Amino acid sequence: MTEAEKALRDNGLTAGTADWLAPAIAVDLPFDGSVAEGLADILRSALSGLVADVNLQPSAGRRKKLLIADMDSTIITSESLDDLASYAGIGDKIAPITARAMRGELDFEAALKERVAMLVGHPSSLLDRLLAEVEVTPGAQALVATMRRDGAYTALVSGGFTSLTGPVRERLGFHTDRANTLNVADGCFTGTVGEPILGRDAKLVALNGFCAELGIDPANAVTVGDGANDLAMLQAAGMGVAFRGKPAVREAAAFRIDHGDLTGLLYLQGYKQSEFAG
């Protein structure tokens, strides 16, 4: 921790005693003093020789009462619509649109409709393959199980499809899931999405709605996602985490995990590895 401690001292701060949350994996380094603008980037630069995530926050109020997680490229390792397109042999047409939409270069709803339209006529049995092959991101199970054990409400909210969010919710133990409906008729995709579409603002709406139902402030929520359609909920929550986010999302979010797995959200809340459930 000498590099981080030196960087803190160089910025007029007094470092306390490091508290290892997990040996050689995660550490809390308390400090006192007036925080200079850009201190997180200064510390990241000081630790640039290490594969390390750096985040700053007050020590109080870290453990949250609500978790809202994006699914694609967050709770699961891939983009589910891209996977379906690959199975259908049209991945080269759909994946570039997905990438641009997630970077915020395209209107989310229009891009979703455009991609789904390309699936028209392909067998809906491709969903069975998707369910069989989907990979859960390391740390997701522990994240959901630990927060749920400690009384937090957990929600999976996705711009993807209920045909996948439902099984992922059940697998990981989320309380609820919200997503779009991929329309099917006669065993084939119709090329349409059920209305209303959960678009760019849906996750912020979900955050505010769940907070109202639970009687808590958004400051007591942790949200996580990687794409442009996640940014509003990341910025509105007390702990909004860009998880291996797209560049614009990574730069705009107050918290970011670029290297670690999803247990990083537990470490950010001050959990020790020995406290993990699941």
Enzyme catalytic residues: 70, 72
Give the Cα separation of 122 and 158 in Å (integer).
Answer: 23
Nearest CA-CA partner of 100 in 78, 86, 115: 115
Amino acid at position 11, single letter: N
Give how far Cα 47 sits from Cα of 16, 41, 248, 263, Å: 18, 10, 22, 20
Residue whose entry in the numeric block shows the structure tokens 């007050």: 58
Residue 206 burial (CB count, 10 A): 18
Enumerate residues 6+ apart whose C-beta is below 8 A from 278: 141, 142, 144, 145, 146, 173
Give the Cα separation of 18 and 15 in Å (integer).
Answer: 8
How many CA atoms lie within 13 Å of 30's alpha carbon, on the beta-carbon side? 8
- 183 and 203 in contact (C-beta within 8 Å)? no
Q: Measured at the alpha carbon of residue 78, what is the angle toward residues 198 and 190, in degrees to the nearest 5?
A: 50
Give the Cα separation of 184 and 121 in Å (integer).
Answer: 9
